[in-house]
């Protein structure tokens, strides 16, 4: 019996040409046990396929999920149903596969940078996300006119390849002040607060608890108990970071309007307004406050206990020993 890498049954939205433009998988599965693998492979084909009512009912009965919320949704929906059964984590070859992998991330079943997302842009269509759901951009004008004729207003919330996460899953123990700023495919760890200016792209992560008031770009992961100050920034692989994966360790602080283009270890601080890129010249001081060398910031990548500040008189960017790790307010990040 072959092992199953990932599996899901979900509803789809199609355009008039029959192309899938949106998928909702309420209960995705990653790396199931052998018994569950047997149930899946006995009833569903590998790849992406329409789900028959007979196969659905047999699966719901076998997994004792007929009376669950998910089972009720799948058995009663009038939307087309699709199954995605992946034997291995290979490049994405369809829209349902792309949505399944985004769901795995936001359901906290996979960490950022652990899934093969090659091909995701090619298989995610640009969609008008509206108060009536996903609409093919080429069909939007007609739908808007039809709504007007009925005295209704069809609001277009965004036009994008990625929808917002909270229309698909709201992870336990989080606060998100502006849900439009967290894309499906973001990993939002328990205890995390994303404030109004915070933004989390797909395949990014805040492992939680975290305070996010800045931007976590694609591929960037923030460790536990770290804080991104207001309008701060992390450089992702899609925004000039090349192939370098930017990670920030535990108990770090990126000050307001500051940012980093290098990975940081634990207990690091970058003062407000200071952006560190790989080529930034940095003067390094030892524990005794003595200047030791001048290096490009990339040579400090991944280090812990670093404090980056700018000399107010000379403008020199300095790296000193960080003698104080930040602590998040426990009550603020207990989202029961």
158 DSSP β-pair partners: 129
Torsion angles phi and psi, residue 179, rounded to 5: -65, -20
Nearest to 326 by CA among 226, 193, 213, 190: 226
Please, are residues 287 and 261 in contact by the beta-carbon 8 Å criterion?
A: no
Residue 76 is classified by DSSP as H
Concerning whether 213 is annotated as a catalytic residue, the answer is yes
Please, are residues 117 and 203 in contact by the beta-carbon 8 Å criterion?
A: yes
Please, are residues 196 and 176 in contact by the beta-carbon 8 Å criterion?
A: no
The H-assigned helical ranges of 193-272 are none
Give Cα 156 distance to the centre of its chain.
22
Nearest to 107 by CA among 37, 214, 236, 10: 10
Residue 305 is classified by DSSP as S
Torsion angles phi and psi, residue 9, rounded to 5: -120, 135
Please, are residues 239 and 204 in contact by the beta-carbon 8 Å criterion?
A: no
Quote the crossing angle between the two packed helices 34-43 and 53-62, to the nearest 10°.
160
Q: 146 is written with which tokens?
A: 């039809």
- Please state the length of the chain: 336
| Residue from 213, 291, 299, 327 carrying the catalytic annotation | 213
Q: 224 is written with which tokens?
A: 């536990």
Torsion angles phi and psi, residue 193, rounded to 5: -115, 125
176 DSSP β-pair partners: 194
So which residues are the catalytic ones? 213
């Amino acid at each position: 019996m072959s092992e199953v890498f990932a599996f899901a049954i979900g509803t789809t939205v199609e355009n008039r040409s029959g192309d899938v433009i949106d998928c909702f998988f309420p209960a995705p599965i990653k790396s199931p046990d052998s018994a569950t693998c047997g149930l899946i492979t006995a009833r569903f084909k590998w790849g992406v396929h329409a789900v028959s009512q007979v196969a659905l009912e047999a699966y719901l009965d076998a997994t004792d999920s007929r009376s669950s919320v998910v089972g009720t949704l799948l058995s009663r929906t009038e939307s087309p149903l699709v199954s995605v059964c992946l034997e291995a984590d290979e490049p994405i070859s369809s829209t349902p596969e792309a949505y399944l992998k985004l769901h795995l991330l936001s359901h906290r079943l996979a960490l950022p940078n652990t899934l093969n997302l090659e091909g995701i842009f090619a298989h995610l269509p640009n969609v008008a996300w509206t108060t009536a759901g996903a609409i093919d951009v080429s069909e939007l004008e007609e739908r808007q006119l039809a709504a007007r004729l009925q005295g209704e207003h069809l609001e277009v919330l965004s036009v994008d390849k990625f929808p917002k996460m909270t229309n698909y899953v709201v992870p336990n123990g989080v606060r998100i002040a502006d849900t439009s700023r967290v894309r499906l495919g973001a990993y939002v760890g328990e205890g995390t607060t994303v404030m109004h200016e915070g933004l989390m792209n797909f395949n990014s992560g805040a492992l939680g608890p975290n305070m996010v008031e800045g931007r976590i770009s694609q591929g960037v992961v923030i460790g536990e108990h770290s804080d991104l100050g207001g309008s701060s920034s992390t450089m992702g692989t899609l925004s000039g970071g090349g192939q370098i994966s930017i990670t920030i360790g535990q108990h770090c602080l990126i000050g307001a309007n500051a940012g980093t283009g290098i990975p940081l270890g634990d207990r690091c601080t970058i003062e407000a307004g200071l952006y560190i890129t790989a080529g930034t010249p940095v003067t390094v001081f030892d524990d005794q406050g003595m200047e030791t060398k001048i290096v490009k910031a990339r040579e400090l990548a991944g280090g812990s206990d670093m404090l980056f500040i700018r000399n107010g008189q000379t403008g020199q960017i300095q790296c000193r020993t960080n003698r104080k790790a930040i602590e998040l307010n426990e009550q603020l990040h207990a989202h029961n």
